[in-house]
Amino acid sequence: MTKSGKTEPRDLFPGALEMMVLQSLRWQPMHGYALVQHIKQRSNELLQVEEGSLYPALQRMLKDGLVKAEWKTSATNRRVREYNITAAGVRHLEREKSRFEQMLAGIHLVLSPAES
């Protein structure tokens, strides 16, 4: 499957964006713009994070204590708000990942041709 300009991008399922954000932040603290770029690159441009969803999601995670944010000056001398994953965020991520894998396994089983 390649990205096509003609097919509408699929909506992510609820929680997917959060998982990806948390996983990215686990790798290294980032600001919003970097997060968008990072996810785009890591998914070989298969996934396009909409900024419109990212910021509300970040605010929710801030409120729930999964991430914390701090104003910093970036390498390009820009004032950016850098997000960091918290311990609660790590726990949340692990839990969500295992739930996601279970779901994925289930979907696989259903979608794969029945063995006769």
Partner 1 sequence: MRWLRNLFSRDKAYDDLAEEIRQHLEERVESLVAEGMGRIDAEHVARREFGNVTLMEERGREAWQWPSLDSLWPDVRFGLRQIVRYRAFTVMAVSTLALGIGANTAIFTLIDSIMLRPLPYPHQERLMRISGNFPKGWVRAYQEHGQSFASLSGYGTDAEANVEGTDAAERVFGSTVSVNTFDTLGVHPALGSFFARENEIAGRDLVVVLSYGYWQQRFAGDLHVIGQTVRIDGVSRKILGVMPQGIRFPYADTQFVVPISFKGGDATDAWGHPFDKQAIGRLKDGVTTAAAQAEWRRLHKLLMPLFPWVMPTDWEAETTVTPLLDSIVGDTGPRLLLLLGAVGLILLIACANVANLALARAASREREMAIRGALGASGWRIVRQLLVESVLLGLLAGAAGLSAAALSLRALTRLLPADTPRIADVGLHWDVFLFAAVASVLTGVLFGLVPAMRMASPHLQKSLRSGGLSVAGRGSQFRVSMLLVVGQIGLSVVVITAAGLMLHSLYSLSQVNPGFRTGRIVTAEVSLNASACRQPGYCLAFFQQVEQKARTIAGVEDAALVDTLPMTGWDLSYIYDAEGHPRDARQVAKQAAGRTVSTGYFETVGLHLLRGRLLTDSDQSGASRAAVINQKMAETLWPGQDPIGKHLESVADEPSPGMLNPNVASIVVGVVSNTHHDSLASGFDEEVYLPMTRDNEQPQMMVLLHSHLPAAQTADGLRRAVAEIDPLVPVTHVRTLDEVVAASNSTPRSLAILLLGFGALAVGVGSVGVYSLIAYVVSWRTREIGIRLALGAPRWQIVRAVVRQSLLLAVAGSVAGLAGAIVCESLLRRFLFEVRPFDPLTFCVVPLLMLLLAVVAAWIPARRAASIDPMVALRSE
Binding site for partner 1 (CB under 8 A): 31-33, 50-52, 55-56, 58-60, 62-63, 69, 71, 78-81
We find the least distance from the C-beta atom of residue 56 to partner 1, in angstroms, to be 4
We find the least distance from the C-beta atom of residue 51 to partner 1, in angstroms, to be 5
Locus of tokens 């290294």? 28
Pinpoint the alpha helices (H) of the chain.
16-27, 32-42, 51-64, 87-111
81 sits in the region (left: phi over 0; alpha: psi -120 to 50; else beta) called beta
Q: Which is nearer to partner 1, 65 or 106 (by Cβ)?
A: 65
We find the least distance from the C-beta atom of residue 106 to partner 1, in angstroms, to be 30
What order of strands is seen across the sheet that includes strand 67-73? Answer: 30-31, 79-85, 67-73
Q: Which is nearer to partner 1, 91 or 101 (by Cβ)?
A: 91
Q: Which is nearer to partner 1, 10 or 63 (by Cβ)?
A: 63
